[in-house]
C-alpha cells in the first residue's frame, strides 16, 4: 500500500470509540510514513471529525456536515416519575459517586459539578487534538468549535478541511502524495465494515421491513411534500 484514504460517514457517537480510531490513524502515519487522506461523505461531525483531523489532507463535499467539535453528556433520571407513582427506593451505595449513572436518582449538586468538570475537560482535550492535527492554535479552534456544525465551504473557510471534493478527488490526491504517476494504473484495495452476524442481519431485515410498512417511505423519484405544501421533485 502506498497511501491510505479514509472515507468518513459519521455524525459522531462514543468518545471512546472515536479516540480509538483516531489513535489508530495517528499510529498508522507515524509507523508507515505513508500519506493519509480523508474523504468526508454526508456527515463527518463530532467523533467523525475527531477521527479525521490528523489526516494529511481532508476533502469535504460542499454539503458535508462537519465540525461539531463538542462534548455532550446525557443522564436520564426516573426519580420524579417514581415519586409521582408512589414507587419507593432503598439505596445501597459503596462510594459517594456510585449513583452517578443510575437512572433512578437525580444528580445532586456535587455529581452535577463532577459531570460538568468531566465534560469541560474532555472538550478541552478535543479542541487540543484538533489544534494539533490542523496546526492551529487552541483559541482558533475554540472559536469555531463549541459544538457548532459547518457545511463544507464554511469548514474550508475556517480551515477545518483542506479541499472541496469527493472520493475520487481524495484518491487522486493520495496518488499524487504517494508520487505515483497520474497515468499509472493502480489497484484500490477496499476495506469495508464487516458484515454483521446472521442473526443481526435477520433482525435488521425485519426492522427495516416494519419501518417501511408503517413509515410509508416514498418510492425513488416520487415527489416529497413538506409541511408547507411545497413539493421537491
pLDDT tens across 11-39, in order? 998 889 999 999 999 999 999 999 999 99
Range of the domain at 95: 70-128
Query: Is residue 19 domain-resident?
Result: yes
Q: Which has the higher per-residue pLDDT, 208 or 87?
A: 87
CA 61, CA 11: separation in Å to the nearest integer?
Answer: 15
Please count the structural domains in the chain. 3
What the block records as the C-alpha cell of 152 is 463544507
The CATH number assigned to the domain holding 172 equals: 3.90.226.10
Query: Is residue 182 domain-resident?
Result: no
pLDDT of residue 67: 95
pLDDT(100) > 60: yes
Domain shared by 85 and 111, yes or no? yes
Domain shared by 22 and 115, yes or no? no
Dihedral Cα 76, 66, 128, 97, nearest 10 deg:
10
pLDDT tens across 136-160, in order? 999 999 999 999 999 999 999 999 9
User: What is the set of active-site residues?
Assistant: 46
pLDDT tens across 199-232, in order? 666 766 766 666 666 555 555 555 544 444 443 3
Query: Is residue 105 domain-resident?
Result: yes
Domain shared by 42 and 133, yes or no? yes
CA 137, CA 206: separation in Å to the nearest integer?
Answer: 49
List helix spans (H) across the chain.
Answer: 15-32, 47-50, 79-84, 109-134, 138-144, 152-157, 167-177, 198-215
Domain shared by 136 and 161, yes or no? yes
Domain shared by 36 and 53, yes or no? yes
Whether the pTM exceeds 0.85: the reply is no
Query: Is residue 16 domain-resident?
Result: yes
Residue 70, Cα to own-chain centre: how many angstroms? 11
Query: Is residue 192 domain-resident?
Result: no
pLDDT tens across 25-83, in order? 999 999 999 999 999 999 999 999 999 999 999 999 999 999 999 998 888 899 899 88
Domain shared by 98 and 10, yes or no? no
Query: Is residue 187 domain-resident?
Result: no
For the chain, what's the residue count? 233
Q: What confidence category does residue 185 fall into, taking pLDDT thresholds of 50, 70 and 90? A: confident
Amino acid at each position: 500500500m502506498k497511501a491510505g484514504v479514509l472515507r468518513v460517514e459519521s455524525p459522531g457517537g462514543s468518545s471512546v470509540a472515536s479516540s480509538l480510531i483516531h489513535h489508530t490513524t495517528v499510529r498508522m502515519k507515524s509507523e508507515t510514513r505513508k500519506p493519509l487522506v480523508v474523504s468526508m461523505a454526508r456527515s463527518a461531525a463530532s467523533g467523525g471529525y475527531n477521527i479525521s483531523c490528523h489526516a494529511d489532507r481532508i476533502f469535504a463535499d460542499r454539503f458535508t456536515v462537519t465540525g461539531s467539535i463538542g462534548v455532550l453528556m446525557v443522564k436520564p433520571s426516573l426519580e420524579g416519575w417514581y415519586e409521582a407513582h408512589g414507587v419507593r427506593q432503598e439505596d445501597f451505595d459503596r462510594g459517594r459517586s456510585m449513583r452517578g449513572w443510575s437512572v433512578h436518582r437525580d444528580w445532586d449538586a456535587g455529581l452535577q459539578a463532577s459531570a460538568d468538570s468531566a465534560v469541560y475537560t474532555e472538550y478541552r482535550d478535543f479542541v487540543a487534538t484538533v489544534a494539533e492535527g490542523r496546526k492551529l492554535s487552541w483559541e482558533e479552534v475554540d472559536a469555531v468549535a463549541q459544538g457548532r456544525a459547518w457545511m463544507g465551504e464554511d469548514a474550508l473557510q475556517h480551515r477545518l478541511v483542506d479541499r472541496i471534493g469527493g472520493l475520487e478527488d481524495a484518491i487522486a490526491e493520495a496518488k499524487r502524495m504517494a508520487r505515483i504517476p497520474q497515468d499509472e494504473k493502480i489497484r484500490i484495495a477496499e476495506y469495508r465494515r464487516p458484515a454483521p452476524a446472521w442473526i443481526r442481519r435477520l433482525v435488521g431485515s425485519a426492522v427495516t421491513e416494519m419501518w417501511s410498512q408503517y413509515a410509508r417511505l416514498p418510492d425513488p423519484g416520487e415527489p416529497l411534500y413538506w409541511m408547507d405544501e411545497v413539493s421537491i421533485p
